[in-house]
C-alpha cells in the first residue's frame, strides 16, 4: 500500500474525494443539506473550485489530497476562518477574523471507511501542520465531534492525540480545538 499526500492544485482539484468535492458547508452553507442530481453536483463542484481559486490567490495552499496506490481516499482543507462564513454560526470563541497567521481546518476526512483508523488522518494532519509552520502560522483550530468519527473535520480524539487542546466545549456534540504552532 503506497500512501502519497499532494497539495491541492488546479490540476488535481477534481480528485478531491466525494463527498468533500461537493461539500460547501463552511464556504457557503446555502449550498448544503440535500441529495444532489448530477447537474447540481457539477454546480457545487464549480462553486468549490471558485472558492479554491480565490483562497489559493489570497491565502496560498489550502488543501491536501491523500492517495493510496494513486486512488484519492483522504482530504484536508484549511484557510483563515474569515474565508469560511459558516464558522461564525457556531457561537464559539473562534479565531478572530482579524487574527493574523491562524488557520481553520474545515475538512479532514478519510472517504473510504476501510482506511479509517489506520493513522491516515494523523498523516494528513501532520502534513497540514508542517505546511502551516513553514508559512509561519501561529495556530490552527477546528470543530471536532465528540465520540464519533462521522464528522467532516474528524473526531476530537484525533486532535487530542496530536497535541491540540480543547479551547471551548461548544455543546454535547462538538468542541473547538486549537494547536499553537
Cα–Cα distance, 51 to 44 (Å, whole number) = 11
Which of the two residues, 18 and 96, has the higher pLDDT score? 18
Over 90: is that where the pLDDT of 170 sits?
Answer: no
Q: What percentage of the chain has pLDDT greater than the value 70?
A: 89
Task: Give the per-residue pLDDT at 35.
Answer: 65
Please, are residues 14 and 21 in contact by the beta-carbon 8 Å criterion? yes
What's the domain count of the chain? 1
Q: pTM value?
A: 0.89
Per the CB < 8 A criterion, the answer to whether 124 and 101 are in contact is no
Task: Give the residue numbers spanning the domain of 47.
Answer: 3-180
pLDDT at 97: 45
Among 47-56, 57-66, 126-135, 167-176, the least confident range: 167-176
At 179, the pLDDT band (50, 70, 90 cuts) reads: very high
CATH number of the domain enclosing 34: 3.40.630.30
Say what the pLDDT of residue 149 is.
64
pLDDT for 23 equals: 87
- Please tell me the predicted confidence (pLDDT) of residue 2: 95
Terminal Cα distance for the chain, rounded:
31
Average pLDDT estimate for 71-85: 92
pLDDT one-digit tens code per residue, 87-138: 877 765 655 544 667 899 999 999 888 998 899 999 999 999 999 999 999 9
Question: What ranges make up the beta strands (E) of the chain?
Answer: 3-7, 63-68, 71-79, 102-110, 139-145, 165-169, 174-180
Q: Residue range 6-29: average pLDDT?
A: 90
Pick from 34, 30, 84, 98: nearest CA to 54 = 84
Q: How far apart are alpha carbons 4 and 98 in whole angstroms? A: 34
Measuring CA to CA, which residue among 67, 81, 72, 86 is closest to residue 23?
A: 86
Averaged pLDDT for residues 148-169: 85
Amino acid at each position: 500500500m503506497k500512501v502519497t499526500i499532494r497539495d491541492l492544485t488546479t490540476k488535481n482539484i477534481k480528485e478531491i474525494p466525494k463527498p468533500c468535492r461537493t461539500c460547501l458547508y463552511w464556504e457557503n452553507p446555502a449550498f448544503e443539506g440535500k441529495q444532489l442530481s448530477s447537474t447540481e453536483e457539477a454546480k457545487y463542484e464549480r462553486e468549490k473550485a471558485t472558492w479554491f481559486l480565490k483562497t489559493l490567490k489570497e491565502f496560498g495552499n489550502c488543501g491536501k489530497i491523500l492517495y493510496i496506490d494513486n486512488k484519492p481516499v483522504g482530504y484536508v482543507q484549511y484557510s483563515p476562518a474569515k474565508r469560511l462564513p459558516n464558522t461564525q454560526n457556531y457561537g464559539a470563541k473562534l479565531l478572530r477574523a482579524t487574527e493574523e497567521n491562524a488557520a481553520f481546518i474545515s475538512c479532514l476526512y478519510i472517504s473510504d471507511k476501510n482506511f479509517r483508523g489506520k493513522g491516515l488522518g494523523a498523516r494528513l494532519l501532520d502534513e497540514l501542520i508542517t505546511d502551516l509552520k513553514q508559512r509561519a502560522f501561529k495556530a490552527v483550530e477546528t470543530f471536532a465531534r465528540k465520540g464519533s468519527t462521522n464528522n467532516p473535520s474528524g473526531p476530537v480524539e484525533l486532535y487530542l492525540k496530536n497535541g491540540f487542546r480543547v479551547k471551548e466545549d461548544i455543546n454535547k456534540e462538538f468542541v473547538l480545538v486549537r494547536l499553537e504552532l
